[in-house]
Amino acid sequence: MTESPRVDPVVQAIQHILEVSDEDFEKLIRCLSEAPVSQRESEAEDRVREAVPALTDEKLTAIVGFSTAFAGALTQMVDQEHFLDSVANRAKDDLPSDKSENLKSRLKALFQAPSIAFIGGGKAALRDNLKMVVRSQINTDMRPIPVFGNDEAKYFSVLHRLKFDYSDEIGAEPDKNVELVLDFEDLKELRDRIQKALDAQSSIQRAAASLGGAVYFPYTIEGDGDE
């Protein structure tokens, strides 16, 4: 049995972008440009799905996924026009010649849409930082310290095991972990450093909000602990 040729997902996404009518494409861009910006691709897709029901889920997912990926790459390019040309050229053999200019203008509109640029830029920044923590846990280990000739337990050692589950792939299920053993002084230092980081995060969020912007929150760390 002959296997059908594999379709390049980039070419497929570009074809989907060009298949959208002018009216629906304007609605799509409007949705992706509305404030507040979407934090995740699924949020962006939900907005568009409501406004452009003609787009199937498969096409919508392909368009948004392609757009955020390439918008993120675009932020790191010095010659952005050349980058746009190279993306458009990837599909030139599969598209009518009169579609190339329309494609470039649509790609620009998509990559510049705030939700796409925000998610794409956030994902690009995360790719520079491997080991994405997705779960954390602290277990407290209390053990009696035996005293020779005295069975009464009144002396104890207390240690805290801090465990992080993580993945090297953005958005993937955790497949690795690291565990640290902390004493009381370690915990207090960690608490102070976390509080400083939280204060810095709050300051950045307030500054971004005052400019009409936002801070990228791609994933939430799930935490729990045992006393």
Instruction: Determine how many CB atoms are found less than 10 A away from the CB of residue 38.
Output: 24
Residue 179's alpha-carbon distances to 54, 138, 211, 218, in angstroms, are 49, 9, 40, 24
CB 46 within 8 A of CB 57: no
Q: How many CA atoms lie within 13 A of 207 on its CB side?
A: 6
What is the residue extent of each domain of the chain? Answer: 9-127, 132-226
**Measured between alpha carbons, how far is 86 from 73 in angstroms, rounded to an integer?**
12
CB 164 within 8 A of CB 176: no
**Measured between alpha carbons, how far is 107 from 104 in angstroms, rounded to an integer?**
5
Distance of alpha carbon 205 from the chain centroid: 17
Sheet (strand 176-182) strand order: 176-182, 156-167, 132-144, 222-226
pTM of structure: 0.61
Residue 48: predicted pLDDT: 92
- Residues 13-71 have pLDDT tens digits of 888 999 999 999 999 999 998 867 777 888 889 989 999 999 999 999 999 998 988 88
**Measured between alpha carbons, how far is 175 from 74 in angstroms, rounded to an integer?**
30
Q: What is the pLDDT along the chain (227 residues), one digit of tens a residue?
A: 455 556 678 888 888 999 999 999 999 999 998 867 777 888 889 989 999 999 999 999 999 998 988 887 776 665 778 877 887 777 777 666 667 778 888 998 998 898 888 888 877 766 655 556 667 889 999 888 777 777 777 788 899 999 988 776 655 677 888 899 999 999 999 999 989 888 887 887 777 777 676 666 554 434 444 44
Residue 56's alpha-carbon distances to 6, 12, 59, in angstroms, are 21, 14, 5
